Chains A and B, each alone.
Chain A
């Protein structure tokens, strides 16, 4: 196919030398998992800002880079598979960056092994008429797999610079900087059908690429195979879960929490804040609001920073590791069939696993799911059945001390309830399920620098988005307590608690508080269990009800933010009776069978 963009190309070149009212803007575009953010990190260094693209929830990272003697702005767009046809939210954003003139130069980052797919994207990028440079990243991995690309021939055909890089090691980055001034509009067919584009990409790939049958990436390939096959994959899953438990459940939720809650907050910040308030604020109401039992500092900030942050931070680190290593998509293969029963597909494994860390964040991640129905079911199941790390710690702490049977009963009941509710929701709710189609990225050892940046950005997200929700929840609690509603709610709930669930009257307030503030409920139950006021059966029933409840106020507020007030309350109206009646049923059955844990 011939090239008709010669004049545009000629016009594109000198534009780099012209005086501009803004710094030269370079947009990085490419498929997911091609190392785009590593290239971005290499170009920009440390000073990076992440912001939501106006009017959307997709994050766009920006940074500055010194190219030659000029300071340029670099935009890292979300990974895209296409820029035409049916587009995901991410792809629409990337398209908008290119179309809205927010970029002067495009750097297409491609996985050197996947030249054919990269070229299909190149021809779609060419349609925007921007000077472009093609980066064949991870060229070392391509060589290891016996793939050789004639970059000179490719560059001549496309009439743009083609740079081979290994971004993780910084190789080829200087060449990329040097090549930027000679960026040109790619000489690729633009207004054609997708089938014609595929044919063009196929033919060009065949011309410039040689694939030999020798592959030297044995270890990665063997590991990738082991992870996706049931016989080896399930033991690997068990090991991963155990490592997750050790790092997040033990190191994060116990060691770090103790350090921060008892040490930094218990001995340092809270006494200091109380002292300051007592001394300088004469109005008792405001003093209580800040440092009282439900005080903004003593409860809201302490809860968010001392109890949840260490758990969330260790979890994000571990989760980032699993994500970057390419493990999670392979896990999705195992989950696909099970999730299909509940109206979801394997892709939902991502929010579900994330929910084990923080249900509030996982609720937000359900955006990656294909259809509104899937998102709703995932949010419902997260709130109903997935215990967050704070809940898990309580469950293990109390029931671990009683018996294995007690633990197995609780998890059996909770999982069973999740399946049942998911199965029903899949049938009752209107809408479609999307099909499971997922790329399995190669297994890699994650780059520590990248992992830390990613974790840092997620922790910033947590501080910016979730912490305010905790504070709002605390203010709500303070208000309820002030007007005497807390005592009233606890009293109203007592018949259900003592009658239906067979629990001691003292648990009524604990369960109500448990919804508002997870650790309060947990601590209350813990105390009851330790002072011998709870039998084994009562402990199992109380914890089952608490696990099935909506995890916390923050989670509820996130549900409202994601799906609206109406749906939020509807979910609450489904989950609460399910939790109570499951507890009542469990209590009845355990008593009828005469079980003693």
Chain B
């Protein structure tokens, strides 16, 4: 997790889990520590370059990735790195 903060501080890249409801961004990467998880996410279209919008953070994380609505648990949302949109409400 410490490396997350490092990236965060350097160029504005944050874990998806830190996005507020309604906030949008672009996926930069998915942590490679768990390849099985990465494969599952890739197959669902969670790939670098995809546009995401956070829809709901409780009881589970729900976000829109391109045109697909996905529900994931928080631990997974921590592993997806996004670059938030500038000047979003």
Contacts and interface: CB of A to CB of B under 8 A. Distances in A.
Interface in A308-363: 329-330, 332-334, 336-337, 340, 345-346
14 contacts: A81-B43, A82-B43, A114-B66, A147-B67, A228-B71, A330-B71, A336-B60, A337-B59, A337-B60, A435-B73, A435-B76, A437-B71, A440-B62, A441-B69
B37 interface: yes
A117 B76 CA distance: 20
A147 B51 CA distance: 15
Interface in B14-53: 35-37, 39-45, 47-50
Contacts of A120: 42-43, 45, 47
A229 interface: yes
Contacts, number: 111
A329 B43 CA distance: 18
Nearest to A201: B47
A338 to B, nearest CB: 9
A492 interface: no
A440 B59 contact: no
A272 to B, nearest CB: 54
Interface string A429-469: 00000011111111000000000000000000000000000
B45 A435 contact: no
A224 B55 CA distance: 11
A360 B66 CA distance: 39
A596 interface: no
Contacts of B70: 437-440
Nearest to A83: B43
A147 B50 CA distance: 16
B72 interface: yes
B87 to A, nearest CB: 17
A416 interface: no
Contact of B69 (A195, A201, A340, A439): A439
A198 interface: yes
Nearest to A82: B43
B75 interface: yes
State the majority secondary structure of interface residues on B: mixed
A79 to B, nearest CB: 11
Given A230-B58, A436-B60, A436-B73, A82 B39 contact: yes
Nearest to B58: A230
Given A116-B66, A117-B44, A199-B48, A332 B39 contact: no
A194 B37 contact: no
A116 B76 contact: no
Interface of B: 35-37, 39-45, 47-50, 55-56, 58-60, 62, 66-73, 75-76
A367 interface: no
Contacts of A145: 67
Contact of B50 (A85, A202, A442): A202
B50 A116 contact: yes
Interface string A182-217: 000000000000110011011000000000000000
A116 B45 contact: yes
Contact of A117 (B56, B66, B73): B66
Interface string A70-112: 0000000000011001100000000000000000000000010
A343 to B, nearest CB: 14
Contact of B71 (A86, A333, A340, A442): A333
Interface in A219-244: 224-225, 228-230
B66 A198 contact: no
Contacts of A225: 55
Q: Quick one: which of B44, B66, B69 has the most chain A CB within 10 A?
A: B69
B71 A440 contact: yes
A500 to B, nearest CB: 40
A202 B72 contact: no
Nearest to B64: A440
B29 to A, nearest CB: 9
Given A113-B67, A199-B47, A437-B71, 16 more contacts: A114-B45, A120-B47, A194-B42, A202-B49, A230-B59, A333-B60, A336-B59, A337-B59, A346-B60, A437-B44, A437-B70, A437-B76, A438-B72, A439-B44, A439-B71, A440-B69
Smallest CB-CB A-B distances: 4 pairs: A198-B47, A81-B43, A82-B43, A440-B69
A117 B39 contact: no
B45 A117 contact: yes
A198 B67 contact: no
Contacts of B55: 225, 228
A437 B39 contact: no
Given A85-B39, A85-B43, A86-B36, A439 B68 contact: yes
Nearest to A206: B49
A117 B43 CA distance: 7
Given A230-B59, A437-B76, A199 B39 contact: no
B40 A194 contact: no
Given A194-B39, A438-B71, A440-B71, A333 B59 contact: yes
B54 to A, nearest CB: 13
Contacts of B72: 435-438
Contacts of A332: 71
A333 B76 CA distance: 14
B7 to A, nearest CB: 18
A120 B49 CA distance: 14
B61 to A, nearest CB: 9
